[in-house]
Chains A and B, each alone.
Chain A
C-alpha cells in the first residue's frame, strides 16, 4: 500500500508575477464591463480599463518584478532577464496594437471589427444589431487575455504551464481573427483555419511533452536539463518528444513547413489583429522557444541544431521567394514576417549569449516596424474597404506623400538599410551567429535579405514611380492610429541611430534562470 502523497502548498512570489495578475485582473474587469456597462459608454470604459491594465502591468514589471527575479510557484513560473524583457516588449506592443484596434475613424465603434460577428454580412440580422447599437468592445478583454497568456508563455517553467499559456494566448486570437467587419467570409474562414491547425499543432506539442516526460521523468525545464545528460538509452523517446514540442512552437512563429496558415490568417484577420499577431505572438513564441532550447534542451543541441537550421533555411527561402510573387499587401507582409522568423531562427541556432541578446533585440526592432506597417494598411481604402491589392497602392507618393514616405521608411527598415533598426538588428543578430556553427546560415540569410529587399523596394517604386489608379483614397487617422504608427516609425529610426540602450538591456537580460 502506498502512502498518500503529501500535498505541499506551492509558494508563490507575488512580487514576481504581479504583472500577469494585473493583466488577467483587467481582463476580468473587461468582461464585467461588457456585461454591466451601458452600450453607449462601453467603448471608452473598455479602452480605459485596457490601457490602465497594460500600463499598470508595465509599471509593476519595471518597479516590482524587476527586483524580484526568481523561480516561483513550484517551478512553474520563471521570472528572469529574458522573461522580463520579453514581457515588457509584449506589453508595449500591446498598447500600440490596442490603439490601432480602437481606431474608429468617423463611425461610432471600432472600425475594423464587426458589431455582430454571428450574422451574415448585409443580412437583416446584422442591420438590426447595428440599429440597436451593438458594439464590438469585446475585443479588448480578448486582447488582454491573450496578452496574459503570452506573458505566461515566455515565463513558463515547465511544459504543462507552457502548454496552458499557449492555449490561453491562442484561443482569443482565433476569435479576434474572425471578427473583421469587411470581407467577413475571408475572415471567418481564416479564423476556422487558424483554429483547426492550431489545435493540430497543440496536439503535437502535448504528445511531445508526454514523450519528454516519459524519457526524463519530469516536465520541469530545469529537471529535464539535468536528466538529459544522465538518462541513457531513452533517446528514442526523448528526441522525437523534443522535436514534437518544437513543432508546436514552430507553428506559432510561422516557420516553414508549419507556416501555411500565416498568409491566409494575416490576410483574413482585421489588420490591427494581424499586426498584433505578427508582433506579440512572435515575441512570445520565440521567447518560449529560446527558453526550451537554451534551458531544457541545451544538452541535446547536437540533435536539434541541425533540424532548426534546416527549418531556418526553408523559412528564409520560402518567406523571401513567395513574398516576391504576392499581390496582396497583407499577404506580402505575412510572407515578410515568415522570412523574418527565419532570420530569427538563425539566432536560436547560434546558442550563445550574443545570439540570445541579438534575437531579443531583433524581436523588438522587427515588431515596432511591423506593427506600424500593419497599422497603416487600414488607412488606404477603395470602395469603402481596405485597398490591399498592391496595384491600389500605386502612386500614393503623389497623392498621400506623408503616408507613402512613412511606409517607405518602414520598408527600408525591413530591408535592413543602415540608420534604421533593421540594420542594427540584423547586425546584432548575425554577428552573434557568425562563427558559432551558423556562418553558412548567415550567408543564406544575407542572400535572402537581398531578395526581400527587392520586394520592399518594388513597393516603394510602385508608390513613387507609378500613376495613381484613381479609386484609392487615404483616410485621415485619429490620434490613436497616429500615435501608434508614429511610435513604431520613430522606434525604427531611433533603434537604428542609437541602439545602445536597448542593446545593453538585451545583453543584461540575456541570462536564463534554471
Chain B
C-alpha cells in the first residue's frame, strides 16, 4: 500500500473536523446554542467533501494500487510489539466514508428542523458530530485496535443519543441495555485481538492478513468466532439483538443514522474487512451464515407483529442486516453484495426512518400505527418518499432493493449440498415476509381509513426535513440501478475483497427471480387484504401464539434474562436495589448518611471475624486438599 498523497494526506481531517465540532459544542457553553447546530452541519459536510475528493483521487488510479495508507503516530511501541495508529484509504473504507458522511450530513440537516425546539439541541448536535467522527475512525482505521477505539466511540455516542431524552427512565434503561449487550460484543472483539496478538504478534490489518496463511485452522476459527460475537453485538444479530428495538427510544434522526444506516452495519464491515480470516475458516463462515439466517428470519417475523412504527422499522433493520451478514458469511461470492445491500439499505431505511420522524412530527409524536391511516392525503411528500423506500426494500423490480437483495438470495443458492437450500430458502421466504410486513406498515400508516386520535392535526414537515427525505428517496430508487447491473460496485470492491468466479447454483437465476417476485406479490396482496381493504381495528386483536410471541420480540428479553442476567449477574438483586432507590431510597439514604446510628451500622456490618477466618481456613484446606488429591 502506498503512502497517502494529495488530498488523502489531509484525510485525517475527515475525522478531525467533526471531532473538533463535538468538542466545541460541548465545551462552548450557551454562546453556541444558536450557531452550534449550523457549525456541526457544516463540519459534517466538510468531511463529505474531503471524502469525495479522496474518492475521486482513488478513481484516477489503476484498480490494483488504489489503496493508500497514512501513518498518524506511534501508539504503543515496546520491544516486540509495535502498533502505530494509521488510516487506510481503500475502496472498502471509502465506500463507507461516502455512506457515513453523505447520509450523516443529510440527517444532520434534517435534525435542524426536527430538533428545532429542543432546549438541549446543542448537546444533540455535539453527539451527532462525535458519532460521525467515531464512525469514520472505525472504518478508516488500519488496525483492529484503532478500529476498536472508533467502535467504542460509536457505542458511546449511540448510548448518549438513545438516552438523550433521559428524563424518561425507560429511555435511560434502554440506553443501559444497549451498552451492556454491546459490551458482550466488545468482549469478542478483545478476545479476537488477544488471539491475533498471540498467533501473529500483530493486530494491524496488513500484519494479520500476512500471517493468516501460516496459522492453524483452530486459530482462524477462534478469531472468526470472536469477531462474529463482536459483529453480533454491534449489528444487533442473534443472540445479542434485543437492544435495537429498545434503542428506538432515541430521537428519530438518531434511529435513522445510527440504528439503521451506519453504526449497526459496523459488524458487517468488520466481517468483510476480516475476509482474509473468514476465507481461511469455512466453519467460521458457516457460523456467520447461521447467525445471519436466524436473524433475518426472526426480524421479519417480529416485524409482522409490531404496531409501533419505529419498532417495526427496527425489526426490519435487524432482518436486513441479517441478509448482509448472511451474504458476508457466504464468502467471496457474497462480500461485495453484502456491502452493496448495506449501501442501498442505508439509503432506503434512513429515508423511511426520516419519514417516520416526519409522521411523528405531524401526529404529536405518536408511533402507534393503529391510530394512523389515510395520511397520504395530508403528507404528500412524506408519503411519496416513504413509498419509494417501501418499494425499494420489498425488492420492487428496478428499485435499489431489487438489485441488492435479490443478488444476496441468488448468492445464497450457490454451492451444493444442504447449505444452499437452507440458507437460500430462508432468504427467499423471508423476502416474502418482508413484503408483507413492510406493506402492512405502509398501508396502516398512509392508506386505508383515518383512525386518528382526536387531538391530532397532521401536516407536512418543513423543508429542512423533507429535502433530506427526497434526496434519500432518489437514492432508494436509483442507487441500485446505477451501481448494480452496471457492475460498478463489484468491480470497485474487487481488489479489496477478492474476485469470485461464478459457481454452481442449485437453482437458476431466472426461476429465482420469478419466485422472489411471486412471493413479494403474495406478501403485498395479503397485507392489502388485511390492512387496506378491511378496516384495521384500533385495539390490537389477541392474535395467534406466534403473533403474541413476535410482539414480545420472540422472547429476546426472556432469553437474555435466562441466559445472561439471572445466573451471571444476580440482576434480581440489582433490581431490588433500583426499587429501594426509587421507593424508599431517600429514607434509606439519609439513615445511612448519619454516622451516629450505630444500630443500623451494626446491622450492615454483620460479617463476623470468626466467619471470615473460617472461610480462610476452609480455603487453605481446599487448596491443600486439592493438591494432595491431585498428587
Pick the residue among B148, B180, B577, B607 that contacts A418 (CB under 8 A): B148
Chain A min CB distance to B293 (Å) = 26
Pick the residue among B175, B571, B589 that contacts A469 (CB under 8 A): B589
Is the beta-carbon distance between B176 and A500 smaller than 8 angstroms?
Answer: no
Pick the residue among A303, A434, A450, A470 that contacts B197 (CB under 8 A): A434
Residues on B facing A (Cβ under 8 Å): 74-79, 81, 145, 148-149, 152-153, 156, 163, 166, 169, 172, 175-176, 179-180, 183-184, 186-187, 190-191, 193-195, 197-199, 568-571, 573-574, 577, 580-581, 585-586, 588-590, 592-596, 598, 601-602, 604-605, 607, 609, 611-613, 615-616, 618-620, 622-624, 626-627, 630-631
Is the beta-carbon distance between A435 and B176 smaller than 8 angstroms?
Answer: no
* Complex alpha-carbon distance, A342 and B338, angstroms: 41
Pick the residue among B148, B195, B569 that contacts A454 (CB under 8 A): B569
In the assembled complex, which residues on chain B have CB atoms less than 8 Å from the CB atom of A458? Answer: 176, 574
Q: What are 20 residue pairs bridging A and B, where the CB atoms are less than 8 Å apart in the complex?
A: A186-B605, A196-B609, A196-B613, A200-B616, A204-B620, A235-B631, A239-B627, A256-B619, A321-B568, A391-B586, A418-B145, A418-B152, A434-B197, A439-B198, A447-B568, A450-B187, A466-B172, A469-B586, A500-B76, A507-B78
Is the beta-carbon distance between A430 and B194 smaller than 8 angstroms?
Answer: yes
Pick the residue among A182, A239, A427 that contacts B595 (CB under 8 A): A182
Is the beta-carbon distance between B76 and A391 smaller than 8 angstroms?
Answer: no
With A183-B595, A239-B631, A447-B187 known as contacts, the answer to whether A417 contacts B618 (CB < 8 A) is no
In the assembled complex, which residues on chain B have CB atoms less than 8 Å from the CB atom of A434? Answer: 194-195, 197-198
> Which secondary structure dominates where chain A touches chain B?
helix
* Complex alpha-carbon distance, A457 and B183, angstroms: 11
B188: nearest chain-A partner, CB-CB: A446
Is the beta-carbon distance between A197 and B627 smaller than 8 angstroms?
Answer: no
Is the beta-carbon distance between B624 and A197 smaller than 8 angstroms?
Answer: no
Chain A min CB distance to B86 (Å) = 15
* Complex alpha-carbon distance, A363 and B596, angstroms: 37
With A471-B589, A503-B76 known as contacts, the answer to whether A443 contacts B627 (CB < 8 A) is no
* Complex alpha-carbon distance, A303 and B630, angstroms: 10
A194: nearest chain-B partner, CB-CB: B609
Chain A min CB distance to B327 (Å) = 29
Is the beta-carbon distance between A260 and B615 smaller than 8 angstroms?
Answer: yes
With A185-B598, A325-B577, A450-B187 known as contacts, the answer to whether A427 contacts B176 (CB < 8 A) is no
Is the beta-carbon distance between B593 and A392 smaller than 8 angstroms?
Answer: yes
Is the beta-carbon distance between A461 and B577 smaller than 8 angstroms?
Answer: no
* Complex alpha-carbon distance, A375 and B631, angstroms: 47
In the assembled complex, which residues on chain A have CB atoms less than 8 Å from the CB atom of B631? Answer: 235, 239
Is the beta-carbon distance between B568 and A382 smaller than 8 angstroms?
Answer: no
Q: What 10 pairs between A and B have smallest CB-CB spacing?
A: A257-B619, A435-B198, A465-B172, A382-B593, A391-B585, A260-B612, A434-B194, A431-B197, A182-B595, A446-B187
Is the beta-carbon distance between A193 and B580 smaller than 8 angstroms?
Answer: no
In the assembled complex, which residues on chain B have CB atoms less than 8 Å from the CB atom of A454? Answer: 180, 183, 569
In the assembled complex, which residues on chain A have CB atoms less than 8 Å from the CB atom of B179? Answer: 457
Is the beta-carbon distance between A257 and B618 smaller than 8 angstroms?
Answer: yes
A122 within 8 A of B: yes
Q: Mark A415-457, 1 if CB is under 8 A from B, else 0.
A: 1011100001011001100110001001100110111011001
* Interface stretch of the complex, out of A37-45, A81-89, A96-104, A243-251: A243-251
Is the beta-carbon distance between B612 and A451 smaller than 8 angstroms?
Answer: no
B198: nearest chain-A partner, CB-CB: A435
> Which secondary structure dominates where chain B touches chain A?
helix
In the assembled complex, which residues on chain B have CB atoms less than 8 Å from the CB atom of A385? Answer: 593-595
With A197-B612, A307-B626, A457-B179 known as contacts, the answer to whether A392 contacts B589 (CB < 8 A) is yes
B622: nearest chain-A partner, CB-CB: A257
* Complex alpha-carbon distance, A434 and B198, angstroms: 6
* Complex alpha-carbon distance, A340 and B566, angstroms: 23
* Complex alpha-carbon distance, A462 and B580, angstroms: 13
In the assembled complex, which residues on chain B have CB atoms less than 8 Å from the CB atom of A461? Answer: 163, 172, 175-176
In the assembled complex, which residues on chain B have CB atoms less than 8 Å from the CB atom of A417? Answer: 152, 156
Pick the residue among B163, B195, B577 that contacts A465 (CB under 8 A): B163
In the assembled complex, which residues on chain A have CB atoms less than 8 Å from the CB atom of B609? Answer: 192-193, 196-197
In the assembled complex, which residues on chain A have CB atoms less than 8 Å from the CB atom of B601? Answer: 183, 185-186
Pick the residue among A235, A264, A500 that contacts B77 (CB under 8 A): A500
Q: Mark A232-269, 1 if CB is under 8 A from B, else 0.
A: 00010001100110010001000011101100100010
List 15 additional A-B contacts (Cβ < 8 Å) besides A197-B616, A307-B626: A121-B596, A184-B595, A189-B605, A243-B620, A247-B619, A251-B616, A307-B623, A321-B568, A324-B570, A389-B593, A391-B585, A450-B186, A499-B76, A500-B74, A504-B78
* Complex alpha-carbon distance, A69 and B74, angstroms: 31
Is the beta-carbon distance between B613 and A507 smaller than 8 angstroms?
Answer: no
Q: Mark A84-118, 1 if CB is under 8 A from B, else 0.
A: 00000000000000000000000000000000000
A183: nearest chain-B partner, CB-CB: B595
In the assembled complex, which residues on chain B have CB atoms less than 8 Å from the CB atom of A443? Answer: 191
A390 within 8 A of B: yes
Is the beta-carbon distance between A257 and B616 smaller than 8 angstroms?
Answer: yes
Is the beta-carbon distance between B176 and A457 smaller than 8 angstroms?
Answer: yes
Is the beta-carbon distance between A243 and B589 smaller than 8 angstroms?
Answer: no
A327 within 8 A of B: yes
* Complex alpha-carbon distance, A382 and B597, angstroms: 14
In the assembled complex, which residues on chain A have CB atoms less than 8 Å from the CB atom of B183? Answer: 415, 450, 453-454
A383 within 8 A of B: yes
Chain B min CB distance to A365 (Å) = 13
Chain A min CB distance to B249 (Å) = 12
B203: nearest chain-A partner, CB-CB: A431
A388 within 8 A of B: yes
In the assembled complex, which residues on chain A have CB atoms less than 8 Å from the CB atom of B569? Answer: 321, 324, 451, 454
B620: nearest chain-A partner, CB-CB: A247
* Complex alpha-carbon distance, A311 and B586, angstroms: 39
> In this complex, which of A382, A418, A430, A464 has the most chain B Cβ atoms within 10 angstroms of its Cβ?
A418
In the assembled complex, which residues on chain A have CB atoms less than 8 Å from the CB atom of B568? Answer: 321, 447, 451
* Complex alpha-carbon distance, A197 and B193, angstroms: 41
A201 within 8 A of B: yes
* Complex alpha-carbon distance, A200 and B616, angstroms: 9
* Complex alpha-carbon distance, A185 and B602, angstroms: 9
Q: Mark A370-391, 1 if CB is under 8 A from B, else 0.
A: 0000000000001111011111
Is the beta-carbon distance between A264 and B605 smaller than 8 angstroms?
Answer: yes
Chain B min CB distance to A78 (Å) = 23
In the assembled complex, which residues on chain A have CB atoms less than 8 Å from the CB atom of B598? Answer: 185
A424: nearest chain-B partner, CB-CB: B76
* Complex alpha-carbon distance, A499 and B83, angstroms: 11
A394 within 8 A of B: yes
* Complex alpha-carbon distance, A350 and B533, angstroms: 69
In the assembled complex, which residues on chain B have CB atoms less than 8 Å from the CB atom of A388? Answer: 592
Chain A min CB distance to B579 (Å) = 11
Is the beta-carbon distance between A240 and B627 smaller than 8 angstroms?
Answer: yes
B568: nearest chain-A partner, CB-CB: A451
Chain B min CB distance to A377 (Å) = 13
> In this complex, which of B77, B593, B609 has the most chain A Cβ atoms within 10 angstroms of its Cβ?
B593
Chain A min CB distance to B304 (Å) = 33
In the assembled complex, which residues on chain B have CB atoms less than 8 Å from the CB atom of A449? Answer: 187
Chain B min CB distance to A457 (Å) = 5
* Complex alpha-carbon distance, A450 and B180, angstroms: 8
Is the beta-carbon distance between A391 and B588 smaller than 8 angstroms?
Answer: yes
Chain A min CB distance to B575 (Å) = 11
B169: nearest chain-A partner, CB-CB: A465
Is the beta-carbon distance between B194 and A442 smaller than 8 angstroms?
Answer: yes
In the assembled complex, which residues on chain B have CB atoms less than 8 Å from the CB atom of A192? Answer: 609
In the assembled complex, which residues on chain B have CB atoms less than 8 Å from the CB atom of A243? Answer: 620, 623-624, 627
* Complex alpha-carbon distance, A391 and B589, angstroms: 6
In the assembled complex, which residues on chain B have CB atoms less than 8 Å from the CB atom of A424? Answer: 76
> In this complex, which of A200, A244, A357, A470 has the most chain B Cβ atoms within 10 angstroms of its Cβ?
A200
Is the beta-carbon distance between B627 and A307 smaller than 8 angstroms?
Answer: yes
B160: nearest chain-A partner, CB-CB: A464
In the assembled complex, which residues on chain A have CB atoms less than 8 Å from the CB atom of B620? Answer: 204, 243-244, 247
B172: nearest chain-A partner, CB-CB: A465
Chain B min CB distance to A123 (Å) = 12
Chain A min CB distance to B247 (Å) = 15
